[in-house]
Structure 1
Amino acid sequence: MKPALILAGGLGTRLRSVLGDLPKPMADVAGKPFLWWLLKQLENQGLRDAYLSVGYRHEQVRAGMGDTFGEMRLHYIVEEEPLGTGGAILKAVAEIPGDDVLVFNGDTLAVVDLAAFVADAEATRADVALAVANVSDATRYGTVEIDDARRICAFIEKGRNGPGLINAGVYHLRKAALADRPGLPQRFSFEQDFLGRFIDEIHLSAYPGVSDFIDIGVPDDYRAAQTRVPALIAGR
């Protein structure tokens, strides 16, 4: 299995009333850090190396998670200053071996068969494959539009009512597609400044194999995560 990169440097601003100064990936979910549940899902599916991109209170993340998680080795890549999702990924891929990497948001959990996801990404020869979830109400999310070949042709800003495909925060990234892209600043958004900006120049493929999805980024969903996340992991 490919190495994993987890974006675990978030400030958790929208959860500050609940978490205080705790880093968002360390938010307590049913007695364990949310990051614990995400790593457990990856370990269950055979991943053996996880790289954690950390920033805010990174010492607390490392102290809480250590250097191993079951069968997995944990590696830490520290942002000395906020780099945005794109800057964090660009910094990290320089330190991760191999040509490809699986990238995960540190505040979402998507239930997806990673072996099937990787096989599909390789079959389509995508520069970036994106796992997408079909939700009944996409109002608080940006949505993804795809063509008949599952190639991503547009990203739509949040606010559209009704059902839709949303970014589930899981990517299969061909490292060279990002690392060899000229003109990127040190700090940038992976979603807007890379995927959105270069949508006509890179091959973006959608993988609609997400069977469930939760984002702990707002208090209501964080409260729901206390029961939903353990149920999702136990069901794997």
Structure 2
Amino acid sequence: MIPAIVLAGGLGTRLRSVVPDLPKPMAEVAGKPFLWWVLRRLEQQGIGDVYLSVGYKREVIEAYFGAKFGTLNVHYVVEDEPLGTGGAIAKAFDVIVGDEAYVLNGDTMTIVEFADLRSAAASDVDLTMAVAKLDDVARYGAVVFDATSMRRVTAFREKGQTGAGFINAGVYLVKREALKRYPLPEKFSFEQDFLHAHLTDLRVSAVPAVSQLIDIGVPDDYALAQTLVPKMVA
């Protein structure tokens, strides 16, 4: 069974006005930590083992969830200092069993079927990426992919360009070998230093199967999450 890596080490700087002293994934949503909803969704997807990449105030997360969440076995990968998204993922791969893992953010709820990511992960694909269609991609930047059956990602457009398109939804199925192929530093950004920097020779398949997406990183969306997230995970 393919495990999942959840990036849960965020400080939540932009949420400090409403969540002053907690790791961002522990911000309360509808009476429970946001991470509770993320793990519940993983449980619904049939995941057996989840590896939480933790750093800032990790003891709060460890004390709340322990080693078990429903049917999930919960493991912790500790960042003694911030490693960036890429460094956190690479460190998690050092301890997980298997050649691939789902990767997702602990501060974003993305409704996508992991079976769709698996079915797109052909033997010659390095990773599959869930993408979401929006009427305006200006806030996020855009993912461009070709019209082949593989939907190979060909470019990333920077934030600020307006109009409809697809955005990176922050959920991946990553093969260990793809990360090991490059001489990456201990601290790096998965998006900028890995995906963007090596896109010309990486084989990345876009999966446009996201039905709903919410990121609690800003106060307005955090407020919206209070009513939306329980419906998404029901």
Query: Residues 1-236 of structure 1 correspond to what in structure 2 (within 5 A)?
Result: 1-121=1-121, 123=122, 125-149=124-148, 150-182=151-183, 184-234=184-234
Deviation by residue 1:199-228 (Cα, 9 ceiling, x = unmatched): 011101100011111111111001000011
Q: Which consecutive residues of structure 1, in runs of 5 or more, have no partner in the other structure? A: none
Instruction: Determine the C-alpha separation between the residues in 1 that align with 2:187 and 2:158.
Output: 21
Q: CA deviation at 1:179?
A: 2.1
Residue identity matched to 2:175: R
Give the ranges of 4+ consecutive aligned residues of structure 1 lying more than 3 Å apart after TM superposition: none
Contact 2:116 2:207 in 1 (8 A): no
Instruction: Determine the C-alpha separation between the residues in 1 that align with 2:35 and 2:180.
Output: 27
Q: Compute the TM-score of the two structures, normalised by the length of structure 2.
A: 0.97
Q: CA deviation at 1:124?
A: 6.2
Deviation by residue 1:74-133 (Cα, 9 ceiling, x = unmatched): 000000000000111111101111001000111111111112221222x36310110000
Instruction: Determine the C-alpha separation between the residues in 2 that align with 1:42 and 1:181.
Output: 29
Contact 2:117 2:172 in 1 (8 A): no
Deviation by residue 1:162-204 (Cα, 9 ceiling, x = unmatched): 221011110000011102312x121110000000000011101
- 2:18 is paired with a residue whose SS is helix
Instruction: Determine the C-alpha separation between the residues in 2 that align with 1:31 and 1:233.
Output: 14
Instruction: Determine the C-alpha separation between the residues in 1 that align with 2:157 and 2:187.
Output: 22
- The share of aligned pairs that are identical, in percent, is 57
Residue identity matched to 1:225: A
Instruction: Determine the C-alpha separation between the residues in 1 that align with 2:14 and 2:124.
Output: 37
Instruction: Determine the C-alpha separation between the residues in 2 that align with 1:205 and 1:88.
Output: 22
Contact 1:19 1:27 in 2 (8 A): yes
Q: Compute the TM-score of the two structures, normalised by the length of structure 1.
A: 0.96
- Provide the aligned C-alpha RMSD in A: 1.0
Identify if the C-alpha distance between structure 1 residues 88 and 194 changes in structure 2 by more than 3 Å, giving closer, same or farther. Answer: same
- 1:9 is paired with a residue whose SS is coil
Residue identity matched to 2:131: V
Q: Which consecutive residues of structure 2, in runs of 5 or more, have no partner in the other structure? A: none
